[in-house]
Amino acid sequence: MYDIRFTVNGQPEHATVPATMTLLDLLRDRLALTGTKEGCGIGECGACTVLLDGKPITSCLMLAVEADGHDIETIEGEAVGGGLSVLQQAFIDTGAIQCGFCTPGMIMSARGLLNRTPDPSDENIVEAIAGNLCRCTGYEAIIAAVRLAADRLAGAKQGRGQS
């Protein structure tokens, strides 16, 4: 067993885990953060995407012990203070959610993109979510959602700048 310390959505956490546990299992089964989904378990679908030190990774391909000393962000960290995040609202407004299974992973990939590229081109968006499979929407609405969120965030920033 291994003692690890890390943060999840800014909260310090401590856990004792076996070497063979994935970060995904730690989040879902130990911390009851079931927003992060398991699709394939082998890095292909992106449903398990979380941010590791601000960067999207697939949590099924990382051991829980490897999270020691790192910052993890999950979909549960998106809605702050009970309100939806700009990204979440944009996904609703463009109809980018059908069954919703891919959505947490999509939003985390989009969050990672907006962290590094606040004004992404459609090509940037497609590249960022290429590792997230969606079997329902056909992707167009998802790309529109990320665009809309980027525009709204830029607008908010500009608004703040002017006032």
Partner 1 sequence: MLGNFEYKRIRSIEEGCQYLAEAAGDGAVLAGGTDLLVEIRNGLKSPQLLVDCKGLDVLNVFSVDDSRSTIGASVALNQLIEHRVFRTTHPALADALASIGTYQLRNRATLVGNICNASPAADAAPVLLVLDAVVEVAGVEGPRTVPVRSFFAGVKKTTLKPDEIVTAIALPARSGLRTAFRKQQRIRGHDLAVVNAAGAYSPAKKVLKLAIGSCAPTPVLLDPIEVDSKDNEAFADHVIETVLRAVSPISDVRASAGYRNAVLPILVKRILHELLFEGSGA
Ligand X SMILES: Cc1cc2nc3c(=O)[nH]c(=O)nc-3n(C[C@H](O)[C@H](O)[C@H](O)COP(=O)(O)OP(=O)(O)OC[C@H]3O[C@@H](n4cnc5c(N)ncnc54)[C@H](O)[C@@H]3O)c2cc1C
- Contacts to partner 1 by CB under 8 A: 2, 18-22, 25, 41-44, 46, 49, 52, 55-58, 61-63, 65-66, 68, 109, 112, 127-128, 130-133
Is residue 81 within 8 Å of residue 10, measured between CB atoms? no
Q: Please tell me whether residue 46 binds ligand FES under the rule CB under 6 A.
A: yes
Q: Please tell me whether residue 43 binds ligand X under the rule CB under 6 A.
A: yes
Helices 140-162 & 103-116, crossing angle to 10 degrees?
40
Residues 117-156 that bind ligand FES (CB under 6 A): 134-137
Is residue 47 within 8 Å of residue 41, measured between CB atoms? no
Helices 103-116 & 86-93, crossing angle to 10 degrees?
120
154 contacts which partner out of ligand X, partner 1, ligand FES, none, CB within 5 to 8 A by kind? none
Shortest gap between Cβ of 37 and ligand FES (angstroms)? 7
Q: Sketch the per residue contact string, 47 through 76, with ligand FES: x for CB under 6 A, - otherwise.
A: xx---------x-x----------------
47 contacts which partner out of ligand FES, ligand X, partner 1, none, CB within 5 to 8 A by kind? ligand FES
Question: CB-based burial of residue 47 (10 Å sphere; 0-12 exposed, 13-18 middle, 19+ buried)?
Answer: buried
135 contacts which partner out of ligand X, ligand FES, partner 1, none, CB within 5 to 8 A by kind? ligand FES
According to DSSP, the β-strands at 2-8 and 71-73 are parallel
Q: For residues 64 and 68, what is the distance between their CA atoms, to the nearest angstrom?
A: 8
Question: Three-class SS of residue 60?
Answer: helix
List interacting residues with ligand FES (CB under 6 A). 38-41, 43-48, 58, 60, 97-102, 134-137
List interacting residues with ligand X (CB under 6 A). 42-44
